[in-house]
Amino acid sequence: MRPAQRFSFVLLLALFLTAAGCGGGGVGRSAPAVPIVPESGVRSTDMVATTAIQRLRSYRIDADKVFVAGISSGGFFGVQMHVAHSATFKGAAIYAGGVYYCALDSVVTALVDCGGEGLYASTLAQSESYLDQQSAAGTIDHERNLREQPVYLWSGTADTVVKQAEMNDLQTEYQHYGADIVKYDNAFPAEHGWESPDGELPCGTAASPYMITCDEGSRPYDSERTWLSGFFGRLQPRNDGRLRGQVINFDQTEFGAAASNSMDTNGYYFVPPRCSEREGCGLVVAFHGCLQTQADIGTKFVTESGIDEWADTNNIIVLYPYAIKSSTVPYNPQGCWDWWGYDDPNYSLKSGTQISIVYKMVQRLIDR
């Protein structure tokens, strides 16, 4: 890219992202740190805040129980992760994301066609063509792995950031490759955000921290229960009390995370007590959206996602990688995951920088 072209590109991106939601707009509010402890056997209920960062360790995880989830930029990225490594990830839960390679390596397409400006134009045909090409070339795992894999989708009828038509395309795409749509929640009057019973904002609110709660009758809806039961089968009851597991603060830099690829120095993972002792635990990798970085909302994505409460009683480890904002190159002022190529033109392939970094974390966890 010539200097003049690069300047125009960055200027255009700045203008778009300043005005756009792209995973949530507005100014992030401060949040208390999640209780973190080193792996010492201390219960999560007895945790105290600490800056100690631990080395990610390995567990005996069932290879058939590894899944991915994400919201907005993390939803688009979650689809990329799932498709690129469909031999590893056995299903996906996607909130307000879109089709694989939706942006077609263009920030303008990402914002105008896929979301961010609340606009939409289908890139489904191009997405499937690219997916087929990369599957045949071996730059992603073979598309046949997607057959019969469980997929959960969420799209609010009031989402002004990622239009429901984009999620409809994602449903069509997954069905095209034979995935099993366990449920498509598309009837709630929800704005842009991750839905859980622990979200602090009303269903129709679009504001930081983009963690919302929607009602089903007189009770909060539990979308996590829906997709976790679709992935893992019958669940033990959710722990609505003091969690027994640990939230561990871990080092992302040993896997290659750095400011140069817009990834934070540290992330988090939740470990139920029995997963340190037994085989057959599950794994969910959960990706936050734009403006849900630690700088924006602390660790509210961890504490309000509603995943750990189910994971605690059902022997599921939950990995929360973190991206960061960047005002230089790579230009990522809202702390989004790379789903349009701001960091790497191979961003949607197995060789993509962020995909490779997160996949190394997964390999460590599953002891491979």
Q: Which positions are catalytic?
A: 72, 159, 192
C-alpha 317/C-alpha 307 separation (Å) is 10
C-alpha 68/C-alpha 281 separation (Å) is 15
C-alpha 105/C-alpha 31 separation (Å) is 34
Torsion of CA 153, 75, 142, 129, to 10 degrees: 90
| HEC string for 48-69 | CCCCCCECCCCCCEEEEEEEEE
C-alpha 62/C-alpha 56 separation (Å) is 18
